[in-house]
Amino acid sequence: MSRDAHRAVSAVLARVEKERVRELPATAGVATAAVGGWAKLGAEIESLFDVAYREACAAARVQPDVPLERLKVRAEKATAGQLARALRSVVQAQPGVFAKIWIRVLVDDLEHRPSALLELLEVRNRFIHPGKRPPLPAQRVERALERATALLRRVHAESAALR
């Protein structure tokens, strides 16, 4: 695992842990610190998927633009969800290449319904953009944070073992 990947995993884990202790406001838009924290969490998850995607492409000897072009997305404009789909497609195309590396842990999560990281992005999107869809109940937010923490600790452990 590269240093960039280890940093990305560590950054998402630190941000999730920080948001776990922050109390959610009763209504959206009340606590700007919480909104900013969730926005940073979304950016950190996107960065993690970007690093994982680029490392997966390198391991599979695939140009990073090719899977994204199939999704009709330019690499510099790809969102976390689009990067997650592209990552999954690269790994599924050559599963043996990723049998024992940390990327497999992320892809296993993406294939699980609901995915811990994608569920966390859904919580973030509902919190940041409350007018589009109502925020989720606090219980579901806490569950999403718990699941993401467990997953990220697993990925972090895998990354530490590979360094």
What pLDDT is stored for residue 29 in this prediction? 46
- What's the CA gap between 158 and 152, in Å, rounded? 10
What pLDDT is stored for residue 101 in this prediction? 81
Averaged pLDDT in 10-residue chunks for the chain of 163 residues: 87 89 56 79 94 92 90 88 93 80 89 90 84 78 90 82 60
What pLDDT is stored for residue 80 in this prediction? 93
What pLDDT is stored for residue 36 in this prediction? 83
- What's the CA gap between 123 and 58, in Å, rounded? 31
> Token match 């390198």: residue?
58
What pLDDT is stored for residue 147 in this prediction? 92
What pLDDT is stored for residue 162 in this prediction? 58
Which residues touch 95 (CB under 8 Å, ≥6 apart)? none
What pLDDT is stored for residue 151 in this prediction? 92
What pLDDT is stored for residue 81 in this prediction? 92
The total number of structural domains in the chain stands at 1
List pLDDT tens digits, range 99-122. 668 888 899 999 988 899 999 998
What pLDDT is stored for residue 49 in this prediction? 95
- What's the CA gap between 87 and 57, in Å, rounded? 8
- What's the CA gap between 123 and 95, in Å, rounded? 30
What pLDDT is stored for residue 139 in this prediction? 85
Domain that holds residue 129: 3-162
